[in-house]
Chain A
Amino acid sequence: MSAGTKANLEAIAAVFRLELRKTFLARRGLWVYLLALAPFVLFLGYTVQNKIEAQQRQELAAHNQKPLAAADFAAIHRGMTEAEVLARLGPPARQFRFGRRRRAANDTIELRLDARFRYSDGSALYDIFLEDGKVMNVRPHPAPTLGDVNLLFATVFQFFYLRLAVFFGCLGIFMNLFRGELLDKSLHFYFLAPVRRSHILAGKFLAGLAAAVVIFCGSAAVQIWLLGRQPGVSGLGHMGAYLGVTALACLGYGAVFLAAGLNFKNPIVPAVALLLWESVNPFLPALLKKISVIYYLTQLCPVSVASGPGVSPLFALLVAAPAAISKSAALIGLLLVATVVLVYSARRVRRLEIDYSAD
């Protein structure tokens, strides 16, 4: 390694070291941690609910007078009487009875007796709804399968985590790298040192990226670990792919928000503009789609939300990448977008003037 390259790397490393602590412990960045933790809290609730239901399935199954299977519940159909249900399934483990007033045809008020019977076959809960002693509906609550959990995570990951949590988290981290110091009137700490401005930018960007990757990949890893511990689910797959996509999201959005911080005083303006741009991405012409971060990220996600069962067409349109490209092309595309934006930022920072009185 030449002496010049070594000196350049040392300068970048010096800025990186100084920025890293600041970026992790920035007071105005505390909400970034909250954003990153939000899905974890959601999944924690989901896990607790699943654990409770699993326990309930076992407890209720123990009350059955005879062993029950899914076929027994499939045999229960609308219109069966309560006596027929009890004859087939035995008394329910839990039952709720309640009266309802209703207006009859002759304009008199009559009382209707409804009931809900809850059974379990050990692997699913079943609610049987009865009106006036006749079966109206049978609703099964099966334990979530690996596919269900995969789809749930993929949906939250693509629709909330990437598009909102990582997006706004990167806004908080990367816009502050320069704009925050201009507001604090402290950017001259670096600008008065014998370090090329592009190296200052590189050091700051890498520190921001390291912080964003640790925070968001860390959170994603914990989420995946947590979801993989659902009853009956033995580990969620694709962890490596999800962490890779999260890191790339930090890279892409980080580069964009770093550039925004060099050009805008108010972070709301670029945030809203970029959020709109990323949101309308599916509706854009093919060429414009490619000038985006989410376009490439959705291509790289290991599970397609749009192809999942029960997905509405509008939702599928919003989250899907309509013109699929290969994963390697998506990776190169994203890296290209980030590189172009970073090169622009390096040119911009060279001309950046510190005039605090004007800020």
Chain B
Amino acid sequence: MTAAVEFDNVSKFYGEVLGVNRIHLAIPPGITSLVGPNGSGKTTLMNLMTGLIQPTRGRISVLGIAANDPERLFRKVGYCTQFDSYPSGATGREFLENYLSLFGDARAARRQRVGRVLERVGLEAAADRKIAAYSKGMRQRIRLAQALAHDPQVLVLDEPLNGLDPLVRADTIALFRGLGAEGRAVILSSHVLHEVDAISDQVIMLSHGYVVAEGQIHGVRSELRDHPIQIRLQGARPREMAARLLQPEPGQELLEVLEVVVGERELLVKVRDAPAFYLALNRLAAAGAIALEGVASADDDAGSVYAYLVGAAGSGGGGQ
């Protein structure tokens, strides 16, 4: 798949302070989440790919356009930053129309686009109110509308779910999914790791300015061979299930289980070779040796993966 955004050996230093270092990335279309705590370099990466800051070294291109060519870049890219940029006294509609006036669109076309994007972010009712009177969530949505207004191919969103109430949050996630499904690249940062799991096609994990992992979460997790995989087995008789797994009856194969934790209606199992375990588990269940009601991965999520990669302290996430 052709990469939407490419970083070629990119480093950024703020004086002597490291922003990001030796970044090689090829971000494909779809939803990509940047994950990492404060100071890990998420916003630096976003600012680099939108040309707001220049790399100290290396080269960045977005859809083949150099990041320092705003005339071409921002016809294809929309960036929703964490900061407001509203002229005082402007209404939501005026703000978006002003922004689109910089694209050289005719007034009628601008109005049409503004109407569409306001509808898309659910702000039609508040469009003619002054932004100064908007709630935090509405401001977040008008920023999102600004990034979407010109129908970009690449969307860069810095903490786009911040301040949104659960209902709007769900709508916004659905919007991102829709954009990703249309073949656009949606690159977002979020400190809410369970949301990252729900949204992302792939993740880029950052720590102290370095990319520590990238790819689909499941793929990244399976690469972490030093950490046993945790699987949650649900059933009415967890103790009996644990006994069957650890001491199989004659003729049944012995599963390689490293640790078992018995809960009320579930069993947490740590294994080294997950595919082999799942295969054997299927056989046991099919033979009626265990009464299994459900199976789920217990640490195949962004939070766990990040914690394994950079230590538990780093998994808190955050906004830089």
Contacts and interface: CB of A to CB of B under 8 A. Distances in A.
B53 A194 contact: no
A107 interface: no
B84 A186 contact: yes
Given A188-B52, A188-B83, A11 B104 contact: yes
A252 B157 CA distance: 41
Contacts of B53: 353-355
Interface in B26-82: 43, 47, 50-54, 70-75, 78-79, 81
A204 interface: no
A307 B298 CA distance: 91
Interface in A160-195: 185-195
A189 B86 CA distance: 8
Nearest to B98: A18
B219 interface: no
Contacts of B51: 191
B102 interface: yes
Tell me if A's interface is mostly helix, strand, loop or mixed: helix
A290 interface: no
A18 B104 CA distance: 13
Nearest to A10: B104
Nearest to B14: A358
A303 to B, nearest CB: 42
Interface string A325-359: 00000000000000000000000000101111110
Contacts of B102: 11, 14-15, 18, 190, 193-195
B84 A355 contact: no
A358 B84 CA distance: 17
A356 B98 CA distance: 23
Nearest to B76: A194
A48 interface: no
A27 interface: yes
A195 B73 CA distance: 10
B87 interface: yes
Contacts of A192: 50, 52, 70, 74, 78-79, 81
A353 B47 CA distance: 9
A197 interface: yes
A214 interface: no
Given A11-B104, A18-B102, A21-B87, 15 more contacts: A10-B104, A11-B102, A15-B102, A186-B83, A187-B85, A188-B83, A189-B85, A191-B52, A194-B70, A194-B71, A195-B71, A197-B70, A355-B52, A356-B83, A357-B320
Interface of A: 7, 10-11, 14-15, 17-18, 21-22, 27, 185-197, 351, 353-358
5 contacts: A187-B85, A188-B81, A189-B85, A196-B71, A353-B52
